[in-house]
Amino acid sequence: MNDGDETVIEAYDDGLRVVHEERMRPDAYHVDGPDGRIASFEIAAAARLYADLYAITDGFDEKQTGRRGVPPTIARADEGIRMTYLAVRRSVAYAAAAFDVDESVVRDAVDGVHARATELRSGPDGNG
């Protein structure tokens, strides 16, 4: 789907979508929900990962979390989700240091989030 200089590169059943925006400066990737833009990224993989996190947690609100804080929904989630959130918002190295684990453990958590989101999209209620 193409909308002017924007192309939907991933769509979720609940109206969540990852959008590629072509622009004069570096392109951008946005995670949009039914109520508008949720987050923006410079890398498509980061936008997809954020959308996967958003989908498997049924959404979260980053307002007033500050630069290093995490949304309450993420804070209450399992360790893999918390690691993945820090990896997408900061970096894999940051998440590994925060949890005092090897970066491979964080990458495994990221892979797990992608797998859970894929399963969610292709499950009985999903269209994938």
**What's this model's pTM, rounded to 2 decimal places?**
0.86
Using one digit for the tens of pLDDT, what is the confidence trace for 14-67? 889 999 998 777 889 999 998 899 999 999 999 999 999 999 999 998 887 876
Euclidean distance between CA atoms 15 and 58, whole angstroms: 12
CB of 26 closer than 8 Å to CB of 15: no
121: phi > 0 → left, psi -120 to 50 → alpha, else beta; which? alpha
